Amino acid sequence: MIRHGFRVSLAMLSWVPVVATINQSVAYFTWVEGGSMKPSLNPDSSLHWRDLVFLWKFRQKEPGALKVGDVVVLRSPEQPDKILVKRILGVGGDKVLRRGDGPYPRPTCHVPTNHLWVEGDNIHSIDSNNFGPVSVGLVIGRATRILFPPSRFGPIPDGGREARIAIIRASKPDSAV
């Protein structure tokens, strides 16, 4: 009986590095805190439920892996111990129009290579309008699906605004943007 228990314990322990590697480099589940992504994530705070999302990490920092519209989990450029959930509105090479609020000094911004312009869907979010473009190196992963609560199970809803000046101009040719 003791031998069997030892074998089972050894087998279970052999999976610890595998699970740790998957959590660190491939995929992860994480709870979304706060209201910066309302209404796409955590839409009803009256129930005191938070959304649980599936986070895809594998090869997300490679060029072209992250696209406009993706929701990412990243480290705050101002407080690296703080984790943020934001939507990508511009990638390297894009020129974006800043939202009217926030202390970022210019009304437009050219997003440098290997950087992203990220914003929360909620206009009261602390995001690139406050701290400017963020390095792709701060991205932890891309949120792909809501897992909890069960009534919201499925892909992350579309949201946010269009911030890329080229797309805004193409949709409104008379615009002075």
Catalytic sites, residue numbers: 36, 86
Residue 113 CB-half CA count within 13 A: 2
- The overall longest dimension of the chain from CA atoms, in Å, is 81
What is the 3-state secondary structure of 107-142? Answer: CEEECCCCEEEEECCCCCCCCHHHHCCEEHHHEEEE
Query: Where would I find the beta strands (DSSP E) of 16-66?
Result: 27-31, 52-56
Nearest C-alpha neighbor of 131 from the set 70, 65, 84, 164: 84
Structure tokens at 47: 């129930």
And the tokens for 9? 């314990």
